[in-house]
Amino acid sequence: MEYGLDLEYSFNEFLKGFGLSSEIAHIIWLPLPMLLVLVAAVVGVLVTVWLERKISAAAQQRIGPEYAGALGVLQPIADGLKLLLKEDIIPAKADGILFTAGPILVLVPVILSWLIVPFGQNLLISNVGIGIFLWIALSSIQPIGLLMSGYASNNKYSLLGGLRAAAQSISYEIPLALSVLAIVLMTNSLSTIDIVNQQSGAGILSWNIWRQPVGFIVFWICALAECERLPFDLPEAEEELVAGYQTEYAGMKFALFYLGSYINLILSALLVSILYLGGWGFPIPVELIAKFLNLPINAPFIQVFTASIGIVMTVLKAYLLVFIAILLRWTTPRVRIDQLLDLGWKFLLPISLANLLITAGLKLAFPQFFGG
Amino acid sequence: MSIAITTQIICFTILSLVILIGALGVVLLESIVYSAFLLGGVFMSVAGLYLLLNASFVAAAQVLVYVGAVNVLIIFAIMLVNKKEDLKPINDIKSRRIISTTICLTLLSLLIRVDLTNVWSLSSPQNSIGEESTIRIGEHLFSDYLLPFEVASVLLLMAMIGAIVLARRDVMSKDISTGLPVDQELIEKSSEPLLTNKN
């Protein structure tokens, strides 16, 4: 399966053509994919914010943003600029250092997790061996940032919101990790590239969603809870806690929280599409299309076609999931804290454990379908 | 010196400085909240050291277990019982300090001795396994380290059952420590829904 564009190799060869050593070429290459992914994440947030405004308007029979650009597409940029120009306030009785460090600790792990999101065979920043495990580890840092900002605000609503966020995050991490473990069991690898390749055999039929329907639902619920999306947005429940841990924040520090939560939502949607919906795979295998068109799989045209199809498919699947998440947000009521913890510990945890056991059993019984 | 080695040395210096200063801060700072957050920083830097040693799985596990679980629980506990309290001055503070210093210095000398006597260099540089380490750790856990692994899991199960027993005292009819029957009235029960009483 070693086909596809290798941009890094071509770029390094191109620079070596100017007489640079391979080390220097590598150093010049390194920041490029990082910047690209950062820009992609921020643009993704802008799109999601616009979608959220438009879909919520449709759900409530309003029009939504209309005048900033065609159909209001520039509205998220106007929002961002507004936040950029706001005064940066640190409350007088707050703890300045922790108050500033909190939002950073929330945002940085989320952005670091984009390291492992693949858009194609070679289209990711780094194919680290621990792959998906890195995401699970990094997402466990976030509660510290939430607790930190909740504590540093010196406000009872903030502290309660921070504590709720951390409790929720810890409870839902376990079923999340267990359902990922079932996938890893089937793939024999933690790498996201291998997980997608394992699903690419027969197009849509070989996607993991057919083999892991329970895991898919558990993962999606847990991902929504980790993102604090509406059925589970207790940490910032405005009727009870003003805005939870964000209460005292203004300007860019608030924007960091905002950005973090939306980047996290897109990241979760991308990971669901990678783990369960075949990642960059087209519903019909590209090899079949190439055979139909009588073209060799290594032809430059087919390679560019495969890469662009891959990016389009990944983004399309992710945004379908984002659409479902937005629709859920504007149509479901909020759960209570005891319902939330009951669902996490008494329902999702046993179900995901049973799912893991059954997957292991099926893998032993039918190694050709569940990964040998 | 190649660029890779220079980067490695810079990273190692920064990480060790953060570990040393952070650890001193954990012990010496007055505010317990700052100590807890600094502890998280120290754990993260240790994970960074593991990364420098090409042990990415151990680094991620360090972040997941120590930062994501242990440190979060410590901070959680501090925030739930964070009340300002004037502690009584301890009478024999001097002798206590002397004893603790002696114990710490003994431990330090033990560590230095281990450092000096152990052979640290690998038999051959090809022995470093890098990305393969996840598989190797799994193989070891299910072969020669199976017994410690299982014993550790039994230990964790015991701790969990103990925590449940302490938290759910309402399921016991007798107090665990005194043996007296428990006054069930004082223990919080699931209350009746408010709306049904109104009629």
**What is the residue-wise DSSP string for A6-19?**
-HHHHHHHHHHTTT
Chain B: give the shortest CA distance to residue A160, in Å.
Answer: 10
Residue B31, class by beta-carbon neighbours within 10 Å (0-12 exposed, 13-18 middle, 19+ buried)? exposed
- Taking the C-alpha atoms of residue B33 and residue A151, their distance in angstroms, rounded to an integer, is 9
Residue B181 or residue B79, greater confidence: B79
Does residue B3 belong to the interface with chain A, where contact is any CB pair within 8 Å?
A: yes
- Look at A23 and B64 and tell me if their CB atoms are within 8 Å: no
Does residue B45 belong to the interface with chain A, where contact is any CB pair within 8 Å?
A: no
- Which of B3, B60, B80 is the closest to A23 by Cβ? B3
- Taking the C-alpha atoms of residue B101 and residue A259, their distance in angstroms, rounded to an integer, is 48
- Look at B79 and A159 and tell me if their CB atoms are within 8 Å: yes
Q: Give the pLDDT confidence of B122-159 residue by residue, as tens digits.
A: 666 665 666 777 888 888 888 899 999 999 999 999 99
pLDDT in tens, chain A (372 residues): 344 456 777 777 777 777 777 777 777 777 888 888 888 888 888 899 888 888 888 888 888 787 877 887 888 888 888 888 888 888 888 788 888 888 998 899 998 888 888 887 777 777 777 888 889 998 888 889 888 888 888 888 888 888 888 888 888 888 999 999 998 888 888 888 888 888 877 777 788 888 888 999 999 999 988 888 777 777 776 667 777 788 888 888 888 888 888 999 999 999 999 888 887 877 777 777 777 777 776 677 777 777 788 888 888 999 999 999 998 888 888 888 888 888 888 899 999 999 999 988 988 888 877 775
Which tokens hold the place of A367? 């190694």
Question: The pTM is what?
Answer: 0.83
- Taking the C-alpha atoms of residue A301 and residue A284, their distance in angstroms, rounded to an integer, is 18
**How many CB pairs lie under 8 A apart between chains A and B?**
70
- Look at A129 and B75 and tell me if their CB atoms are within 8 Å: no
Residues 6 or more apart in contact with residue B175 via CB below 8 angstroms = B169, B181, B182
Report the pLDDT value the prediction gives residue B170, as an integer from 0 to 100: 62
- Look at A143 and B68 and tell me if their CB atoms are within 8 Å: yes
Contact predicate B71/A143, CB 8 Å: no
Share of chain B above pLDDT 70, in %: 76
Query: Phi first, then psi: what are they for B144, rounded to 5°?
Result: -80, -20
Report the pLDDT value the prediction gives residue B198, as an integer from 0 to 100: 47
Q: How far is CA A243 from the centre of its chain?
A: 23
Report the pLDDT value the prediction gives residue A1, as an integer from 0 to 100: 34
Q: Quickly state the pLDDT bin for B199 (edges 50, 70, 90).
A: very low
Chain A: residues touching B (Cβ < 8 Å): 23, 27, 98, 128-130, 133-134, 136-138, 140-141, 143-144, 147-148, 150-151, 159, 162-163, 166-167, 170, 173, 190
Residue A124, class by beta-carbon neighbours within 10 Å (0-12 exposed, 13-18 middle, 19+ buried)? buried
- Taking the C-alpha atoms of residue A293 and residue A366, their distance in angstroms, rounded to an integer, is 35
Q: Which of B103, B100, B99 is nearest to B111 (CA)?
A: B103
Report the pLDDT value the prediction gives residue A3, as an integer from 0 to 100: 42
Q: Give the pLDDT confidence of B77-99 residue by residue, as tens digits.
A: 888 776 666 677 777 788 888 99
Chain B: give the shortest CA distance to residue A165, in Å.
Answer: 11
Chain A: give the shortest CA distance to residue B126, in Å.
Answer: 18
Contact predicate A151/A233, CB 8 Å: no
Report the pLDDT value the prediction gives residue B151, as an integer from 0 to 100: 94
Does residue B167 belong to the interface with chain A, where contact is any CB pair within 8 Å?
A: no
A contacts of B75 (beta carbons < 8 Å): 144, 147-148, 166
Scanning every residue of chain B, which has its alpha carbon at the shortest distance from the alpha carbon of A24? B3
The pLDDT of B154-167, averaged and rounded, is 88
Residues 6 or more apart in contact with residue A50 via CB below 8 angstroms = A65, A72, A73, A75, A76
Question: Which amino acid, one-letter code, is at A272?
Answer: V
- Which of B2, B37, B130 is the closest to A148 by Cβ? B37
Chain A: give the shortest CA distance to residue B119, in Å.
Answer: 29
Report the pLDDT value the prediction gives residue B84, as an integer from 0 to 100: 65
| Interface predicted TM-score (ipTM) over 0.90 | no
- Look at A144 and B72 and tell me if their CB atoms are within 8 Å: yes
- Taking the C-alpha atoms of residue B22 and residue B44, their distance in angstroms, rounded to an integer, is 11
Chain B: give the shortest CA distance to residue A286, in Å.
Answer: 30
Query: Phi first, then psi: what are they for A57, rounded to 5°?
Result: -65, -45
Chain B: give the shortest CA distance to residue A62, in Å.
Answer: 35
